[in-house]
């Protein structure tokens, strides 16, 4: 078969992706360090972890605004549009491929094209993470950075405690997404081809 290269990742997407990945890793490490802080054996000293976490969080917000602007004013936004009719069926087909078909060397049911950068499961997940989870993470993080804006009581509980709980849960989900995302990046024409795409901008397929 002839190898096909599609230029799907312009320079701004690659730079945004790199910065986003580094900031998320930094936030995960400092977040874990704060959550399981032990004065005798700290992963990162608590006060330092807090400072790094806050700075990385503010930088992540700035980077997220770049993502929103890029998807609004460039053609990259077309890849993030969900088509709801038949969505469940497409998700089921893609889930079957990931869980069974890929191990039987079957062809991908939704190959990458110039119009569809993501398969249905990727698209559904990315939209959920980038347009639902990240905004919740940002808003709860800002609320904890400026706790005076949090109501004292929310749903018969401490407002700060509830916001903190939401932040931790969503942070865990984003962390889980990153682990799964890195694993699925190894599923390409070669184990490293998807990583190369983030360097040269070209998706390699057959």
Q: How far apart are CA 23 and CA 133, in angstroms?
A: 16
**CATH 3.30.70.580, applies to 4-205:** no
Q: Flag whether pLDDT at 159 surpasses 90.
A: no
Q: Cβ(106)–Cβ(97) under 8 Å?
A: yes
Q: Flag whether pLDDT at 189 surpasses 90.
A: no
Q: What is the pLDDT of residue 149?
A: 73
The DSSP element (H or E) to which 95 belongs, if any, is helix 87-99
- Residue 121 gets the label, from left (phi > 0), alpha (psi -120 to 50) or beta, of alpha
Q: Which of 58-72, 122-136, 152-166 has the lowest mean pLDDT?
A: 152-166
Confidence of residue 42 (pLDDT cuts 50, 70, 90): confident
Percent of the residues in the chain that have a pLDDT greater than 90, as a whole number: 70
Confidence of residue 152 (pLDDT cuts 50, 70, 90): low
Which among 122, 12, 6, 10 is positioned nearest to 65, based on CA atoms? 12
Q: What is the pLDDT of residue 128?
A: 97
Residue-averaged pLDDT of the chain? 90
The domain ranges of the chain are 4-205
Tell me the average pLDDT across 73-86.
Answer: 95
What sign results for the dihedral spanned by CA atoms 24, 27, 31, 33?
Answer: positive
């Amino acid at each position: 078969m002839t190898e096909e290269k599609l230029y799907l990742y312009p320079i701004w997407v690659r730079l945004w992706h790199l910065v986003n990945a580094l900031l998320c890793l930094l936030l995960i490490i400092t977040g874990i360090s704060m959550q399981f802080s032990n004065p005798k054996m700290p992963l990162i000293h608590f006060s330092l972890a807090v400072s790094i976490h806050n700075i990385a969080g503010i930088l992540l917000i700035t980077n997220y605004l770049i993502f929103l602007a890029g998807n609004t004013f460039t053609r990259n936004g077309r890849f993030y549009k969900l088509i709801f009719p038949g969505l469940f069926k497409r998700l089921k087909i893609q889930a079957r491929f990931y869980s069974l078909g890929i191990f039987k060397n079957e062809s991908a049911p939704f190959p990458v094209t110039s119009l569809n950068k993501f398969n249905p499961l990727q698209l559904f997940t990315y939209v959920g993470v980038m347009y639902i989870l990240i905004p919740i993470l940002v808003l709860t993080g800002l609320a904890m950075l400026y706790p005076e804006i949090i109501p004292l009581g929310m749903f018969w509980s401490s407002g700060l405690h509830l916001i903190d709980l939401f932040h931790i849960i969503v942070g865990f989900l984003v962390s889980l997404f990153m682990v799964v995302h890195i694993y699925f990046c190894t599923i390409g024409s070669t184990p490293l081809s998807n990583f190369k795409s983030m360097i040269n901008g070209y998706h390699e397929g057959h």
